[in-house]
A and B are shown apart, each in its own frame.
Chain A
Amino acid sequence: MSKNKVPLAEGFFTWPSDQPKLIGSKCKVCGTPAFPKSPYCTNPDCEKKTENVEVIELSNKATLYTYAVQAYPMPEPFKMQPFEPFPLGMLDFPEGLRILGMLTTDQVEIGMQMEMTTRKLYEDDQNEYITWAWKPVK
């Protein structure tokens, strides 16, 4: 029997889902988006009223702005078992945000269209702990 896939922290992406998406927020007055969701609009010139902000799901397609490969093992609280060098990047969203995320492969190029998925970090007896990640659009 396969283990439950559980997000390492709740509230960052829709789960369970066949097409997971990051969860952000948007100001209904000026349109400024945020990730993770913010209780107040982060535009300095917009009024600070929590009722102006709504929770949104972000696009599951984005453009790779840059990336790197973490080649050297990291101490906790990062856990990846077993550790293997992994790529991570910054992605530009249609909503105007630029957001961090792991990548599923280092066979990528700046400007590439990517699609959101999830990847495993580690597991225990009951669960497999996952995070959001990006793969090239086929």
Chain B
Amino acid sequence: MKNREIAIVGLGVHPYGKWPDKSMAELGCYAISQALEDAHMKWRDIETMACGAYMWIADQGGVPSLLLGTSISTMMGGTGIPCCNIVNACATGQSILREACLAVASGEHDIALAVGSDKSAGGFFRPQGNDKRYDNDWIRYAMVGETNPGYWAMEMRRRIHDCGTTEEDMAMVKVITSRGGVHNPNARYRKEYTLQEVLESPMVCDPLRLYEICATSDSASAIIVVPMDQAEKYTDKPILIEGLAVGSPSFGDPCIPLTYLSSYPQADVGTLGWSESRNALAAAYKQSGRTPDDINVVELPDNSSWHYLTYMDMILQLPYGGSDQLLRDGYFNVPDGKVPVCPSGGFGAFGEATVAQGLWQCIEVAYQLRGDLGPRQITNNPKVGLAQSYGYAGNNGVCIMSKAF
């Protein structure tokens, strides 16, 4: 961030799960209260807020959930501050954190809040209307039969073909990430899985099995940011935001992002794809001046085992398929690998809560950088961490953070 250095001083998470008796606004207020307590602030101290807008309004919550920030600020008690509702699918978290940071970096405000709350549609995500003419999401789902895991499975099949990724590699992802989730009080599935359990779980979208894809959950997260030179008023463990970028796809990307029906692969974009993710990563590395060698801990979107491996290829700037061997060598182990990946337990232990999860990933990295997490504290004394989220329809967000105490 150019004009002022930005510090994270308040973190709040509602435990992940299914909370049928709580509205999204209630979950959001809980997360904000936690973040305010963490930063020793009162609600009236917040000068501006950016909120994740709920995507699945045909299922739950309706328009008040699309305008969720306004619903949350009303439940907290209106203070008249700017409140924007933003939706960038699963990359919403990094997108709203970016809005909060820009509000502080510009000098317009000193205390900004990003909050996301979500009760994701159960089971396969599906179109939110019945518009056959203009909603390609409807077409890809109802006419092609492509679910989210169906897309991931097609990408996984191609990776197996190109790189030789094995059934055991895919299953080991869940085995390793579940070791973090078992100790995380906010995780929904606090169980350690064996290789055999994963390999024997039912096939959902061949070649992906049930325990190789994530569930959908209810949750909320909140982060409070201030200028670094004011951080000591609120915390003795500030976290510096070094790079925070949002990416969209480049023309010619060979991938067909969910909700789209085609791509037009061009040689100059490279043959690998996921350009929205590469674009966000490149921007965050450039802003921070960091390189992959600097990263000590990663929270990535392990929506499926395919994501985990593909994102580690990209984050570490490895050749296509390069992370398979590092996984086998224990490089990503939790809690004691060289670069632990998803020490929180990942989406595998938490489930997706679409517009809340990107913030939550940043929070889990910040927790590891603050330290003293007991049995889930990673053992490499992390200084720098990266949280990346991958969104529906070609949205991506990356946040690089470091310990500033």
Contact = CB atoms under 8 A, between A and B. Distances in A.
Contacts of A85: 206
B130 A77 contact: yes
A77 B135 CA distance: 13
Contacts of A76: 126
Contacts of A9: 132-133, 138-139, 142-143
Contact of B206 (A71, A80, A132): A71
A75 B161 contact: no
A66 B126 contact: no
Contacts of A98: 254, 256, 262-265
B140 interface: yes
Interface string B143-166: 111110010011111100100000
B140 A100 contact: yes
A117 to B, nearest CB: 14
A79 B145 CA distance: 9
A88 B142 contact: no
Interface in A78-93: 78-80, 85-86, 88-90, 92
A75 to B, nearest CB: 6
A98 B265 CA distance: 7
Contact of A36 (B126, B136, B202, B264): B136
Interface residues of A, number: 46
Given A35-B262, A97-B262, A71 B145 contact: no
A110 interface: yes
B365 to A, nearest CB: 32
Interface residues of B, number: 41
Contact of A100 (B202, B251, B262): B262
A68 B155 CA distance: 9
B132 A68 contact: no
A16 interface: no
Interface string B117-132: 0000001101100101
B122 to A, nearest CB: 9
Nearest to A45: B251
Nearest to A101: B144
A74 interface: yes
Interface of B: 123-124, 126-127, 130, 132-133, 136, 138-147, 150, 153-158, 161, 202-208, 251, 254, 256, 261-265
Closest 8 CB pairs of A and B: A68-B153, A69-B206, A9-B132, A66-B158, A35-B262, A99-B262, A68-B154, A77-B142
Interface of A: 8-12, 32-36, 42-44, 65-72, 74-80, 85-86, 88-90, 92, 96-102, 106, 110, 121, 131-132
